[in-house]
Chain A
Amino acid sequence: MAESQEPQGSEGQVSEAQIAVHWREEEYYYPPAAFVEQANAKDPAILERFTEDKFPGCFKEYADLISWDEPWHTMLDTSNPPFWKWFVGGRLNASYNCVDRHAEANPDKTAIIFVPELESDDHLEITYAELRRQVNEFAALLRDFLGLSSGDRVTLHMPMVPELPVTMLACARLGVIHSQVFGGFSGTACGHRIADSGSRVLITMDGYYRGGQLADHKVKADEAVAAARQEGQEVDKVLVWRRRAGQYASKTPMAGGRDFFVDDLLSEHSGKTVEPVSMSAEAPLFLMYTSGTTGRPKGCQHSTGGYLAYVAGTSKYYQDIHPGDVYWCMADIGWITGHSYIVYGPLALGTTTVIYEGVPNYPDGGRPWRIAEKLGVNIFHTSPTAIRMLRKVGPEEPKKYDYHFKHMTTVGEPIEPEVWRWYHSEVGKGEAVIVDTWWQTENGGFLGSTLPALQPMKPGSCGPGVLGVYPVIYDEDKKEIPAGSGKAGNICIRNPWPGIFQTIWGQPERFVQTYYAKYNKNPDSKDWRDWPYFAGDGAVQAADGYFRILGRVDDVINVAGHRLGTKEIESAALIVSEVAEAAAVPVIDDIRGRVVEVYVSLKPGFEPGKEMEDKVSKAIETEIGKIARPKNVWIVPDMPKTRSGKIMRRVIASISNFADVGDVTTLANPEIVDSIRHHVQSAKVAKDDVPRELTEAEFEEIKKFGAD
């Protein structure tokens, strides 16, 4: 069935859907018969097994994919909401599940294929038996040399090399909580995460290849240790893997008594085995920090049992992973996608997972397709950003190579239908299904997607809620927005699921406040139905139940019911070549709810004036629509900024609303605030444009505007 639904909107106005995504509903694409035939989930009965009346018992099907030392007695404990406990009483070890059980059953099967960035270097195949040996020896080192045991935290700052999953799985073997920081991040960012997690050990690598160059990575370890120390956290030991054994790729000296080469130490642990520590299902497996916060870092704490069951289940049914597949997720293990869908999910299912060291377009745009051809990859997983990049550098490249994907994933952000179609027809050669997935670092695994053999694809839509996950869209008044209404709102998940993170490490109040307070129906309730999870993304649900994700809701200004993305408005303003910076803020308006005001600063040499204001206003109107036309454009000499350069939108929003700007003493340029206030407020007074006094709720909204 083809569906074509025009976006709704009154005459003369741009509709909400157009504003939000500029896309319209697309036609369905159906999976090829050959795919359906072999799919893990091809019997529609699976959809029945996960209906809401079967919740939470339906997740036994996921839990049964992993091996338990002791069975759980309670599937879901809701006694302390929203700190949900899954598979209570159960005990297991994640390392055993991802390594040992496959090494016992199929020791010579390839677990990991490592592809170095330099094409002159051969790829490396690591069997499950070999992986077991390496994980055991490194676990012995962690235990015997460092004295680590369950519950300790260890920070990893490693590139995309096989030593990274070995390190993660060795930690998991001991019950040590690993916290991998994206290898490309600075030492300072790593140091903040070390301090927050209380790690006394940092595990890193001397260097890695990126863009054809051997990058010095160890230098960042010294920065990280110093940054952590500034926050009161000492790092006792730094373990340094060497990219090429026996050769040191860094110019930074090793600190005596603190820094140790892993290959030197491993020789003392050769052949050692470490019994996997049987962990409670609720024991934390890892922390994954999210970026995007100038305040305290946010470490998402993921459990052992619930998380592992969830990523195994979604890998099996949504990634359609079979043990005989060669699966390549091109994400970085430093992100949740890499944890869930390079390491834990695929290895829990005993498949072969590919790890590629470098950038996808090195040395040219054909590289991913050469890798796929050479290794026989049949499942491919990447982000829209990478797809756009590959299309740009080599739109004709895929057809030059003889590879055949049965399944492809897109993850991380909405994908434009046009890009989706290139992915489908060129990369997938029209033979592969695509699953478009929506989820977040906090979620462990997919929340919205299509079951590839049973639910047709629709470009631009991620699909319905996944098995056992029941999304809903609420408006700001906590009213449910019905499917097919064409209205956008805040996408929430009505129920807990096993992959949901347990808390923000060390910040339980922030966890409750950020994710549950907004739509909680009764803070004293022990019923999960009263605790919808607030995802922070805006969405529209079509009549067929498919969701289109629109972006973060906390960056939206709601003008007369139309949700305008501040980023889109600011991007439109930046199209004006004279504009250096732009910030859009809401102003309370009794008729339209909120109206938009835009602040811009100009590049050197350009003068403010009415003509420039009109130019900015016109650019926004042209790019987005009349509804987004700002009420005022204020040209200011500079924006109030933090020392890291972040524009303090709450300060300018307060000025526009004649509200108290709060403490500005910590800004990099506090003197600019008075200058802007005088300029803006005197102009508003002169044209009788002073908003009424804000209510307490409105004041809170303005105060929080633009904050994390």
Chain B
Amino acid sequence: MGMTRQYVAGELSVLLARLQAVTTTETARRDAWSLRRAAETEPIPALGPVTVRALKLTEGLCWESLNRGDTVAFTRQAAVCAELHEFGVCAGLLKET
């Protein structure tokens, strides 16, 4: 119940699938999968923290890629990070900073 904000969970799930696709380790892939599962099952108001955790995971991936000098992976991960942030702000899941 609650307003028809189901689409927020749906769009977040899609973005987390993209995050899963740019992971470079099995642990990160599993973390992304868990986040996506949370997006599909958590009550809508809990999606803010899910988004924050997703951004944290993406940020970590970006740093790892930079440390490895893997610019291709970094570029893809940074793009997902930007999309997640943009969506999070527009959907009211994150405060704009």
Interface residues of A (CB under 8 A from B): 182, 184-186, 188-189, 210, 290-294, 331-332, 334-337, 383, 385-386, 388-389, 392, 411-414, 438-442, 514-515, 535-537, 549, 551-552, 555, 565-567, 570-571, 574-575, 580-582, 603, 643-647, 706, 708
Contacts and interface: CB of A to CB of B under 8 A. Distances in A.
Interface string B49-92: 11011001000000000000000000000000000001101111
B5 A581 contact: no
Contacts of B50: 645
Interface string B1-25: 1111111111101100100000000
B13 A385 contact: no
B28 interface: no
A414 B4 CA distance: 10
A537 B13 CA distance: 24
A334 B10 contact: yes
A294 B42 contact: yes
Contacts of A535: 1
B42 A442 contact: no
Contacts of A336: 4, 6
Contacts of A388: 89-91
B2 A537 contact: yes
Nearest to B8: A385
Contacts of B3: 412-414, 438-440, 537, 549
A292 B42 contact: yes
A565 B9 CA distance: 19
A186 B17 contact: yes
A139 to B, nearest CB: 28
A536 to B, nearest CB: 4
Contact of A392 (B43, B90, B97): B90
B9 A292 contact: yes
B63 to A, nearest CB: 12
Given A567-B48, A574-B52, A335 B37 contact: no
B26 to A, nearest CB: 17
A420 to B, nearest CB: 14
A708 B43 contact: yes
Contact of B10 (A182, A188, A646): A182
B82 to A, nearest CB: 12
B4 A411 contact: yes
Nearest to B7: A335
Contacts of A706: 43
Given A189-B40, A549-B3, 7 more contacts: A292-B41, A439-B3, A552-B1, A570-B48, A643-B34, A644-B37, A647-B46
Given A552-B43, A575-B95, A440 B4 contact: yes
Nearest to B56: A580
Contacts of B8: 385, 413
Interface residues of B, number: 41
B92 A291 contact: no
A302 B11 CA distance: 24
Is the contact region of chain B dominated by helix, strand, or loop, or is it mixed? helix
Contacts of B10: 182, 184-185, 291, 332, 334-335
A565 B52 CA distance: 18
B89 to A, nearest CB: 8
B44 A552 contact: yes
Contact of A412 (B7, B34, B48): B7
Given A566-B45, A645-B34, A185 B4 contact: no
A566 B45 CA distance: 8
Q: Which of A210, A549, A646 is most buried by chain B, counting CB atoms within 10 A of its CB?
A: A646
Nearest to B49: A581
Given A566-B45, A567-B45, A571-B95, A186 B1 contact: no
Contact of B1 (A334, A335, A442): A442
Contacts of A441: 4, 6
Contacts of B95: 571, 575
Given A185-B13, A440-B1, A644-B37, A290 B45 contact: no
A292 B12 CA distance: 13
A552 B42 CA distance: 14
Nearest to B96: A392
A411 B92 CA distance: 15
Nearest to B43: A292
A389 B86 contact: yes
B96 to A, nearest CB: 9
Contacts of A566: 45
B53 to A, nearest CB: 7
A186 B11 CA distance: 11
B90 A536 contact: no
Given A186-B13, A565-B45, A646 B38 contact: yes
A385 B10 CA distance: 12
Nearest to B45: A567
Given A567-B48, A581-B49, A291 B40 contact: yes
Residue among B6, B42, B97 with the most chain A CB within 10 A?
Answer: B6
Contact of A385 (B34, B92, B94): B92
Contacts of B56: 580, 603
29 contacts: A182-B6, A182-B10, A182-B13, A185-B13, A186-B17, A189-B40, A291-B9, A291-B10, A292-B6, A292-B9, A293-B43, A294-B42, A334-B10, A389-B86, A392-B89, A411-B4, A412-B3, A413-B5, A440-B1, A441-B4, A552-B2, A555-B45, A567-B45, A567-B46, A574-B49, A581-B49, A582-B49, A643-B34, A646-B41
A463 to B, nearest CB: 14
A592 B48 CA distance: 28
Nearest to A443: B4
B5 A412 contact: yes
Nearest to B11: A184
A412 B11 CA distance: 14
A647 B49 contact: yes
Given A210-B14, A292-B43, A335-B6, A413 B1 contact: no
B48 A571 contact: yes
A336 B41 CA distance: 17
A556 B48 CA distance: 16
Contacts of A293: 41, 43
B86 A392 contact: yes
A515 B2 CA distance: 11
A389 B42 contact: no
A221 to B, nearest CB: 15
Contacts of B34: 643-645
B47 to A, nearest CB: 9
Contacts of B52: 574, 580-581
A100 to B, nearest CB: 30
A385 B12 CA distance: 12
Nearest to A416: B92
Contacts of B36: 186
A234 to B, nearest CB: 23
Contacts of B6: 182, 290-292, 335-336, 441
Contacts of B17: 184, 186
B40 A186 contact: yes
Contacts of B2: 292, 440, 536-537, 551-552
Contacts of B94: 571
A301 to B, nearest CB: 15
A248 to B, nearest CB: 20
Contacts of B5: 412-413
